[in-house]
């Protein structure tokens, strides 16, 4: 299911935004013209990844510091060991959509 999130220009560059879509809590990150969407709940202790610092294609969990790859959802260092979900995104006519429930 494709869900409209926001106009691309309304997403801040290089930091996260949390979007609640139904029962899903999603962290959305704009890096230039690219938008990444991953599960917002850290797989270690459920901190909000949308509040983490972003650098080099990763977001650092604000609670204990595990960095998560924005493309794969994989943690790159402890203490988290389990990936978070990744949601495909589409930018169409300047509007960002996230796709829920298809391979996520
Ligand atoms: S809550 Fe994210 S690393 Fe612990």
Q: Enumerate the domain spans of the chain.
A: 12-88
> What's the gap in Å between 43 CA and the centre of ligand 1?
7
Instruction: Quote the CA–CA distance of 100 and 66 in Å, as a whole number.
Output: 25
* Half-sphere exposure (Cβ direction) of 46: Cα atoms closer than 13 Å: 1
Pocket (CB within 6 angstroms of ligand 1): 42, 44-45, 47, 61, 63-64, 66, 79-80
pLDDT digits (tens, 9 = 90+) for 46-58: 999 999 999 999 9
* Half-sphere exposure (Cβ direction) of 63: Cα atoms closer than 13 Å: 14
pLDDT digits (tens, 9 = 90+) for 70-101: 999 999 999 999 999 999 999 999 999 999 98
Q: Which CATH number is 12-88 given?
A: 2.102.10.10
- Which ligand 1 atom is nearest residue 43's CA? 2
């Amino acid at each position: 299911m494709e869900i409209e999130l926001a106009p691309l220009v309304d997403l801040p560059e290089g930091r996260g935004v949390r979007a609640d879509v139904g029962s899903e809590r999603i962290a959305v990150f704009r890096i230039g013209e690219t938008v990444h969407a991953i599960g917002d709940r850290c797989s270690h202790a459920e901190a909000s990844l949308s509040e983490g610092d972003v650098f080099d294609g990763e977001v650092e969990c604000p609670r204990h510091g595990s960095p998560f790859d924005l493309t794969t959802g994989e943690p790159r260092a402890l203490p988290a060991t389990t990936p978070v979900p990744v949601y495909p995104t589409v930018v169409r006519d300047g509007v960002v959509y996230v796709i829920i429930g298809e391979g996520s």
